[in-house]
């Protein structure tokens, strides 16, 4: 477990209704990668405009139990933020299916709100086959994103391997999302490194679990600030992330009085 | 016995010898036939299946002659000119054909004649076996001419009962009285005129071999020979307008060992570089590398599976990368060749509401990309189905406030989790209609009550109680999926 300094970002009330900005029409270039905005102003500002396409982003589960949240967050980035409807390739090790479950098309649709044009699931026997398949997938320029799920420490995925993957990603402009579950952060060629953990959702009526909510910690960024953290909620209808802090009650709510400080509406007089 | 709907009645259209012996005939209604013999075995007539079977039988008959003509609905013509001596003589060939068909469970009537039309008429209408062909043709009933019903009836009314009667009259009179069709029919039976026929086209299998004067062990020489074979194969494919879906390379070693390599393409292709890349991938994925030993005598390239592929407009040389769909197809076949076709999968929705059976992961190599037909999620709702599903579901220990109520806390993987928020139950019934005896009370399987729950740390789970309390005294709980 990494101890991360938590810095609450400024609450920006205008975030809620900000439509997602259109992508700038510049070709992916080594000097200035395409930036895919996430929809949260403070997060995009920290990233310099959004997640860089054609780069590697490492998404760590803060604890092994947070694997599903990290997988969900990576799927949202792949299908919602970076993919733009283009095909998605999800690479896993064969053993991962038994320990972490089968990816459901319906669940992916329910999570993201839309499915990529084509989803391919690759099951590799071992780490070398997984990395090689990921490298091959990155050379296919038509993909929206490649999601490589690496469980456990995986010593094969070292700095050299990640540099090799980065070279392939830079050439085609396809983003690689490295989903790491049960691994310690190690030096790599990734552009950003995140730790994701599940966060309590905003309850719906009758105390039902609400929209997917994540705690993000930006552990490292190649060129930019790091050590920041956010609590994000995914808005499936608008297909953007929202700062969940916006919805938290500022003052604790007394049990016997209404939460809002507004006028008390009296019942009309029956007599 | 077969029946089909003709007009408003179900009538018999075909019957076997046993049924004919019982006095049944074509055209009789099924109800009449059943009234006479209640235990008849009658099947519905399927003309499409018959046509397919006839074509397969025709393809099969190519063992006797390369010139096979289908005579639908139930005939096959073999042109045995120049092939009869291979089997002895005509009678021996006919016997072989009859034995072959008898082995397939068919009853055949065969006749041999100078023309296809005569042979067909003899086989259908003449008493077998035919000894004198000309006499047998003259003795055929006029129905064998293949005229319409009215002309046939007119011939019979005029007292012309056999083909010989008709042939004895001058052709002009017959044409004036019974139409030109009668004259044409006579000419075709006598061989004065050839009836058009369309023999079955047989595609020779694509098979290319390169033999070496000396055994070749050097990798470059083998690669060069493969390139040459591929050029020939691609030229043949282009000529036919086909692309290969599967390729098989056989390396024959001088000591008799044969190494066979098979690759499959996700889309029909005739790009030699692409096929060569697949073979390189296949060779790279071999558990034990190819051992040329003292060298290979010959190598063979076969293309067992082809598919139609129209010529595509060639792109400009500097237009950048090629077709994006083909780039993805290449990725699929490359990974399928290396990891195995079952390892690259697409998800396909299945017709079931049992969560673990609602989708199937099928090989992407054989299942092209198709949009999944899934209902769009309702706006304003949280995800109702988990991203990750366990199959089989994992058992959990649950403490609930009331036996029928939602879980309060549960133990999963030796950790105790507190339920802070929940929604449910969503009740999913078992598919009793797929189970034997499912319609009986209690025989249909257990109902599942699903709850979406969130624990103290915000992790969201999908857990269910397997069985209602009315179905089972102590229902067990399972964790089925994980939400993001």
Distance from CA of A136 to the nearest CA of B (A): 7
Does residue A132 form part of some domain? yes
Band of pLDDT at residue A254, cut at 50, 70 and 90 = low
Residue A69 is assigned to a structural domain of this protein = yes
Tell me the DSSP string of chain A.
Answer: -------PPPP-GGGGGPPPPPPP-----SSS--EE--S-HHHHHHHTSSEETTSEEEEEESSGGGHHHHHHHHHHIIIIII-TT--EEEEEEHHHHHHH-EEPHHHHHHHHSS--S-EEEEEESSHHHHHHHHHHHHT-TT-SEEEEEEES--TTS-HHHHHHHHHHHHHHT-EEEEEEES------S-SEEEEEEE-PPPPBGGGB--S-EEEEEEEEETTS--SEEEEEEEETTTTEEEEGGGGS-SSPPPTTS-SS-SPPPPPPP--
Of A115, A200, A215, the CB nearest to B420: A200
pLDDT of residue A263: 53
- Mean pLDDT of all residues belonging to chain B: 87
Residue B116 has pLDDT above 60, yes or no: yes
Domain that holds residue A104: 33-225
The model's pLDDT over B145-160, given as tens digits with 9 standing for 90+, comes to 878 888 888 888 888 8
pLDDT score of B45 more than 50: yes
Longest dimension (CA), chain B: 105
Please state the rounded mean pLDDT for residues B309-336.
Answer: 71
Give the gap in angstroms from C-alpha B463 to the nearest C-alpha of chain A. Answer: 13
- Mean pLDDT, rounded, for A260-268: 55
Q: How confident is the model at residue A250 (pLDDT cuts 50, 70, 90)?
A: low
- Residue A51 maps to which CATH number? 3.40.50.300
User: Is A117 in the B-facing interface, judged by CB distances under 8 Å?
Assistant: yes
Residue A233 resides in a domain: no
A121–B383 C-beta distance less than 8 A: no
Q: Is B408 on the interface with A (CB under 8 A)?
A: no
The structural domain count of chain A equals 1
The per-residue pLDDT for B320 is 46
Q: Does A147 touch chain B (CB under 8 A)?
A: no
Per the model's pLDDT, the better-predicted residue between B124 and B323 turns out to be B124
Query: Does residue A139 sit within a domain?
Result: yes
pLDDT higher than threshold 80 for residue A128: yes
Closest-CA distance of chain A to residue B293, Å:
29
CB of A203 less than 8 A from some CB of B: yes
| Residue A244 domain-assigned (yes or no) | no
pLDDT (0 to 100) of residue B439 = 83
DSSP-assigned beta bridge partners for residue A85: none
Could you state, in order of their start, the residue ranges of all structural domains in chain B?
A: 2-33, 48-190, 206-312, 388-482
Domain B206-312 has CATH 3.30.1490.100: yes
pLDDT number for residue A6: 44
CA distances B313 to B242, B268, B275, B308, B310, Å, are: 16, 16, 20, 16, 10
Q: What is the pLDDT of residues B337-376, one digit of tens each?
A: 889 889 999 999 998 989 999 999 999 988 888 888 888 8
Residue B474 CA neighbour count, 13 Å, CB half? 3
Query: In this structure, is residue A241 part of a structural domain?
Result: no
pLDDT tens by residue, B261-296: 999 988 888 889 999 999 988 888 888 888 888 899
């Amino acid at each position: 477990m990494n101890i991360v300094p938590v810095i609450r970002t400024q609450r920006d009330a205008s975030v809620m209704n900000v439509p997602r900005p259109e992508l700038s029409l510049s070709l992916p270039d080594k000097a200035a990668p395409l930036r895919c905005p996430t929809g949260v102003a403070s997060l995009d500002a920290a990233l310099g405009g959004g997640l860089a396409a054609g780069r590697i982003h490492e998404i760590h589960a803060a604890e092994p139990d947070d694997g599903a949240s990290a997988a969900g967050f990576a799927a949202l980035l792949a299908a919602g933020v970076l993919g733009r409807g283009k095909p998605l390739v999800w690479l896993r090790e064969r053993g991962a299916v038994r320990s972490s479950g089968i990816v459901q098309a319906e669940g992916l649709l329910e999570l993201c709100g839309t499915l990529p044009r084509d989803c391919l699931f690759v099951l590799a026997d071992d780490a070398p086959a997984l990395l090689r398949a990921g490298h091959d997938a990155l050379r296919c320029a038509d993909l929206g994103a490649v999601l490589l799920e690496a469980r456990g420490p995986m010593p094969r995925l070292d700095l050299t391997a990640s540099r090799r993957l980065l070279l392939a990603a830079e050439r085609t402009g396809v983003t690689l999302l490295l989903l790491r579950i049960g691994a310690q952060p190690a030096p790599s060629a990734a552009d950003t490194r995140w730790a994701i953990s599940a966060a309590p959702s905003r309850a719906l009526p009758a105390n039902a679990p609400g929209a997917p909510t994540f705690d993000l910690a930006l552990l490292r960024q190649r060129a930019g600030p790091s050590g920041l953290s956010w609590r994000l909620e995914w808005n499936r209808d608008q297909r953007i992330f929202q700062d969940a802090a916006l919805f938290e009650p500022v003052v604790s709510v007394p049990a016997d009085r209404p939460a809002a400080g507004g006028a008390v509406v009296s019942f009309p007089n029956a007599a | 016995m077969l029946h089909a709907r003709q007009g408003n009645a179900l009538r018999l259209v075909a019957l076997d010898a046993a049924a004919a012996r019982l006095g049944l005939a074509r055209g009789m209604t099924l109800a009449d036939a059943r009234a006479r013999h209640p235990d008849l075995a009658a099947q519905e007539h399927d003309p499409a299946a018959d046509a397919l079977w006839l074509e397969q039988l025709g393809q099969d008959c190519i063992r006797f002659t390369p010139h096979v003509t289908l005579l639908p609905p139930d005939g096959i013509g073999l042109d045995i000119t120049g092939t009869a001596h291979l089997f002895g003589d005509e009678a021996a060939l006919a016997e072989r054909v009859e034995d072959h068909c008898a082995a397939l469970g068919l009853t055949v009537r065969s006749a041999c004649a100078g023309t296809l039309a005569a042979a067909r008429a003899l086989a259908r209408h003449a008493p077998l076996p035919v000894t004198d062909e000309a006499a047998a043709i003259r003795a055929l009933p006029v129905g064998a001419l293949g005229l319409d019903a009215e002309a046939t009836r007119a011939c019979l009314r005029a007292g012309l009962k056999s083909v010989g009667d008709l042939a004895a009259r001058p052709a002009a009179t017959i044409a004036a009285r019974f139409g030109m069709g009668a004259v044409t029919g006579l000419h075709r039976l006598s061989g004065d005129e050839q009836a058009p026929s369309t023999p079955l086209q047989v595609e020779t299998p694509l098979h290319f071999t390169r033999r070496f004067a000396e055994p070749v062990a050097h990798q470059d020489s083998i690669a060069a020979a493969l390139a040459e074979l591929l050029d020939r194969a691609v030229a043949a494919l282009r000529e036919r307008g086909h692309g290969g879906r599967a390729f098989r390379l056989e390396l024959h070693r001088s000591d008799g060992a044969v190494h066979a390599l098979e690759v499959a393409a996700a889309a029909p292709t005739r790009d030699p570089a692409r096929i060569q890349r697949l073979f390189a991938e296949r060779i790279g994925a071999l558990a034990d590398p190819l051992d040329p030993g003292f060298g290979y005598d010959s190598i063979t390239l076969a293309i067992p599976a082809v598919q139609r592929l129209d010529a595509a407009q060639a792109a400009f040389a500097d237009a950048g990368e090629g077709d994006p769909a083909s780039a993805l197809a290449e990725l699929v076949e490359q990974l399928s060749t290396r990891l195995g076709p079952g390892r690259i999968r697409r998800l396909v929705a299945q017709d079931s509401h049992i969560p673990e059976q609602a989708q199937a992961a099928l090989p992407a190599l054989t299942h092209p990309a198709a949009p999944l037909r899934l209902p769009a999620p309702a706006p304003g709702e949280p995800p109702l189905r988990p991203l990750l599903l366990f199959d089989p579901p994992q058992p959990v220990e649950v403490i609930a406030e009331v036996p029928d109520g939602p879980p309060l806390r549960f133990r999963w993987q030796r950790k105790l989790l507190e339920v802070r928020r929940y929604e449910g139950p969503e009740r999913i019934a078992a598919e009793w209609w797929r189970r034997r005896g499912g319609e009986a009370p209690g025989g249909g399987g257990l109902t599942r009550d699903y709850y979406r729950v969130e624990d103290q740390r915000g992790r969201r789970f999908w857990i269910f109680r397997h069985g209602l309390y009315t179905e089972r005294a102590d229902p067990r709980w399972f964790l089925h999926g994980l939400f993001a």
